[in-house]
Amino acid sequence: MDFEQIANEYANMIHSIIHKMHIYKNQDEFYQIGLIALWEASEKFDEAKGEFSHYAYMMIRGRMLQHLQKENKWEDACIHPDELYWDTIECETRLLEMEDLLSHFHHLTDLQKKWAVLHFFHGLSNRDIAEMEKVSIRKVQAWKELAMKKVID
């Protein structure tokens, strides 16, 4: 019997083992592992030692268990930084973004830079900026107009 026939005959067994082992991620990968184990079983099987189906089942299940153990070791070995690390990265990224933004506005006055940062970096509207700075909206609009004119020119 060629291997293709064996694979077709034992496909349900491989799927059954995957299901019984509660493998829900990478099922295609585990199916391939099952096929390889089935091929090895077909090559190494000795009829004097019992039934092929039992031997194949044990080989397939064993290879899948080995692979799960390898995956678990890999997961345990991987470093998963805590929240403090990600907060630091976000802070550094925001600083870089701020530096990049300010590099475009180096020729603006302090008030025009303040408007640009509050608007483009923090996403505030002219009304929000006016309330925060305790000035009129017209004054904030003037900062914006002069800043935009300088940037475009």
Output the domain CATH number for residue 146. Answer: 1.10.10.10
Domain count, the chain: 2
Six-digit token pair at 151?
Answer: 């940037």
Cβ pair 30, 70 in contact under 8 A: no
Q: State in Å, rounded, how far the first CA of the chain is from the last one.
A: 80
The reply to whether 44 and 90 lie within a common domain is no
CA torsion, points 39, 43, 45, 47, in degrees to nearest 10?
A: 120
- Is the backbone of residue 80 left (phi > 0), alpha (psi -120 to 50) or beta? beta
The reply to whether 96 and 125 lie within a common domain is yes
The reply to whether 42 and 89 lie within a common domain is no
Residue type, 65: L
Domain residue limits at 114: 83-152
The reply to whether 67 and 95 lie within a common domain is no
The reply to whether 102 and 50 lie within a common domain is no
Predicted confidence at residue 90, as pLDDT, reads 54
Which of 40, 59, 77 is the last residue before a domain boundary?
77
The reply to whether 43 and 60 lie within a common domain is yes
**Helices of type H across the chain:** 3-20, 27-44, 52-77, 83-104, 110-116, 126-133, 137-152
Six-digit token pair at 125?
Answer: 């509207």
CA pair distance 39, 43, nearest whole angstrom: 6
Which of 54, 77, 100 is the last residue before a domain boundary?
77
The reply to whether 87 and 137 lie within a common domain is yes
The reply to whether 69 and 87 lie within a common domain is no
The pLDDT tens digits along the chain (153 residues) read: 788 999 999 999 999 999 999 988 888 999 999 999 999 999 998 888 888 999 999 999 999 999 988 888 877 666 656 666 556 655 555 555 767 767 777 788 888 888 888 887 778 888 998 998 999 989 999 988 888 888 776
Predicted confidence at residue 118, as pLDDT, reads 83
Kindly report, residue by residue over 40-73, the tens digit of the pLDDT.
Answer: 999 998 888 888 999 999 999 999 999 988 888 8
Six-digit token pair at 49?
Answer: 């030692």
The reply to whether 69 and 121 lie within a common domain is no
The reply to whether 131 and 67 lie within a common domain is no
The reply to whether 100 and 123 lie within a common domain is yes
Which of 37, 54, 77 is the last residue before a domain boundary?
77
The reply to whether 72 and 94 lie within a common domain is no
**CATH number of the domain bearing residue 63:** 1.10.1740
